[in-house]
Amino acid sequence: MWKLIKRCCLEERLGEILSFFCANIALNAPPSNFARLEPLVRRLYERCRRKIQHKNVLRTCATFYLRAAIWRNDQRGAKYLDVYARSPTAFPEEVGQIITHCRELIRFEDPNLTPEKNHGVRVWAFNFLTNTVHSLQSLASDLRSKHPDTPLLDWPEDHRNELRQAYVLIDHVATELYFGSGAFNEKKEGDDAYVAPSIAEKLRILNEGNLLFDALCSSAFVEAAYRVLETLEFLVESDHSSVILRIATLVKSAAEDGIQYEGMAADLIVRIVERYLSEYGNTLRERAEVRSAILDVLDAFVAAGWPQATRLTYRLSEVFR
């Protein structure tokens, strides 16, 4: 058996066979075989990354190293993951795979593990996502600085592709945060199996994901911003004051990319502001920074000409009285 595994890792070139090996053997091997298996998987991964470029193999190897890092405290796996977060566009398949796994990890809770271990898994996932977003934002900023007065279509093709890849991965992070937080499931109707997160769990998501929300709210990218807005709307009741401050930061950042001209974003913002006016009037009257945030958010969409936003301004005087 080990001779076959060794031959597959070191010599096999057919993608179908390599994908089968990774999905059915590498990921399902008993923990006792890890020390013997890991060097072979590493050889296979490096061979595929440099020469063969089988995307399924790259993604499955990323999963292998994620499991090794989290559940075995394997330093080599942790090193790979650190490299992914530092240079995400160089490893788009691997990073995309880890981001997808983080959907489940940001709310991870295993009753058989200690609270400290559960917390550690969630924090690791949020940290990976945060570091990845920071790397992507830094890359996008560097690329723009190289072409300050040049239309995007006139950029060198490799720079355009790299910026596009950065935006795709940031959007992927925002999307997995949206699904992983439970925001999507709350909109589904007729799902009896769904258990909505409690207010305490929503607050935990907001607190443990604090740095990730900071990073995403500073991203000037409409597609990702809309997903983050939906997630923040879902978390409003856990800490309505901090959520509206984040929303104001997000709208200001994404205005550079024209979020105020997007119809779906306008409808979402109006729904959020209406909720604040109806449910949190006392906070608006008592806290100047919250009131200012609401006004900034609404002003952006009023200036863009949305009538539903303009109509809301007439209600403000009633609340602030």
Q: Is 150 helix (H, G, I), strand (E, B) or coil?
A: coil
Contact partners, residue 45, CB within 8 Å, separation at least 6: 57, 58, 61
Instruction: State the average pLDDT over residues 209-233.
Output: 95
Q: Residues 241-261: what's their mean pLDDT?
A: 95
7-42 pLDDT per residue, tens: 888 888 887 888 888 788 888 888 888 888 899 889
Indicate if the pLDDT at residue 107 is higher than 60: yes
In the predicted structure, residue 190 carries a pLDDT above the cut 60: no
Q: Report the pLDDT averaged over residues 242-246.
A: 97
Assess contact for 59 and 93: CB atoms under 8 A.
yes
Per-residue pLDDT at 230: 96
Given a cut of 60, whether residue 209 has pLDDT beyond it is yes
Q: Annotate 31-85 with DSSP letters as a single string.
A: GGGHHHHHHHHHHHHHHIIIII--HHHHHHHHHHHHHHHHHH--HHHHHHHHHHH
Q: Where are the beta strands (DSSP E) in the chain?
A: none
Which residue, 51, 61, 135, is CA-closest to 93?
A: 61
Res 10: pLDDT: 83
Per-residue pLDDT tens over the stretch 273-288: 999 999 998 898 899 9
Q: For the purposes of burial, counting CB atoms within 10 Å of the CB of 267, is it exposed (0-12), middle (13-18) or buried (19 or more)? A: middle
- Contact between residue 296 and residue 252 where contact means Cβ atoms under 8 Å apart: yes
pLDDT tens readout for residues 69-99: 999 999 999 999 999 999 999 999 999 999 9
Residue 314 has pLDDT above 90, yes or no: no
pLDDT at 196 over 80: no
Split at pLDDT 50, 70, 90, the class of 189 is low
Over range 143-154, report the average pLDDT. Answer: 91
Task: Specify the pLDDT at position 34.
Answer: 87
Encode burial over 278-296: b for 16+ CB neighbours within 10 A, e otherwise.
eebeeebeeeeebbebbbb
Return the ∠ at Cα 58 (arms to 32 and 163), rounded to 5°: 140
For range 243-261, the mean pLDDT: 95
Count CA within 13 A, CB hemisphere, residue 31.
6
Residues in the chain: 321
Range 172-199 average pLDDT: 81
Contact 172, 216 (CB under 8 A): no
- Give 136's contacts (C-beta < 8 A, 6+ positions apart): 88, 89, 166, 169, 170
Phi, psi (deg, nearest 5) at residue 227: -65, -40
Q: How far apart are CA 26 and CA 266, in angstroms?
A: 47
Token output for 192: 């009896």
DSSP 154: G
Residue 287 contacts residue 243 (beta carbons within 8 Å)? no
What is d(CA 140, CA 15) in angstroms, rounded to the nearest whole number? 33
